[in-house]
Structure 1
């Protein structure tokens, strides 16, 4: 009997055994303090990173319900990332690290994209049918915004008011709507000037501790994700222009999809061309050294090389601008 595991006989939902239903674990909104909340969030992000890098598994459903915590007798907490029922094996043969068994236009029947209020823009929109780590990183970002508007840590043990009695703030109320409403609200947050009003509202209406979280974590991550999306959009326009030029020169059979950036040699759509990675994500919140304690620093060598190249390019353009101004 052939018992070899294949993608055909081994469904994508691979981690049912890691589901946690124990009353020992508390929900994220029961963290008790903002410091505990940040600790739990980082612990869960670490678990997510190690699962992807070491176990080659992608969670695919990051939400406030799946970031839980274990409270220790001394009052400290440990974050536990739960609900791996929709996790997927990573295709190690794919350069972009996409999920095995899911392909554009033909999603696996086992795949569920996530919890709508926390889903990445491209998954809600439907542009991306293959889940990538950047989608989960974007979900971690949305949890921060959700927490600022909804969580009240009243005292060390009971944590916040429960979600059952907390009405969603007007700034995130649309996240509980239809996919179209969620998409529209998040586009305004991420890509328009209206997003600045949301961040200002967070800083003005909440305590200084929450405002500090907005300044040091949320706003830098917003800039990172916004710029990564904008850069990816530029890449797609460039790819479309290349295909058009090839068609005009008779080098294209006319069947290629315009702007299919995934077909460009060497381009990594899973990270928006290297713009949205774990390293960049942690760097945005000033946690690069923390990330390097999670794994061998050599694994971030490529990220650092890209950053150095970008800095050199920015310096080159700046010098060119200065030279043209003096002419």
Structure 2
């Protein structure tokens, strides 16, 4: 038998990894916390002395809980998260919280999370657990009630969809920031040609203002996105922009009168902006933890 205090300490050691798994599975920070808490409750009810590999056991449990939560969304007829942006994780440049760093290992940007939302629950689980966390298919198969060979096919199918839809961000943070700064300069100056020059031809803009604005709006193509110049100019000239990391990538936190107005994330690929994700839903912004941005 394991004492409750020792068991709790061991669980806390695994919590950052479990949160990272759940966040990639669910795209929701609050639901990820719920999934991790459920894993703790199941552990507390079990005979922990019989668990040989606690980390693997907990990861399997969190995977099952997340899979059930994804399936329940469909049963309840809820709108999938692809109809709204996933929750962003925002941190100050050069001062990421250790828990945030664990949560965002592998730079899981918002653009990638959006693509993950398009997968079936089983595909998403197989891809996340194998490709992102290295679990063998023999361990994944029982979670999705498939054979290891079928679980491998699920991950392969998901991998093809992710590679085809999620742009790979440029690795140098300084290069990313220079492109975002050029975007801001073009927006402030109302310079259409300068704005167009920093956009990838296939750029995708996703803007989520919440229920009051009709939910998620998607604009595709450089000309169409540059056509939003007037909106970008109003934002750049009326708001105070704070450089930040959003899911590990170059982003902006915009405030008006000291109040949070929007969070923007940019995926920079081959020196141009491939995706722009904007969250301006006041209800969801109010729930964000931006303590790391305080000077």
When normalised by structure 2's length, the TM-score is: 0.30
Point out the structure with max Rg over C-alpha.
Answer: 1
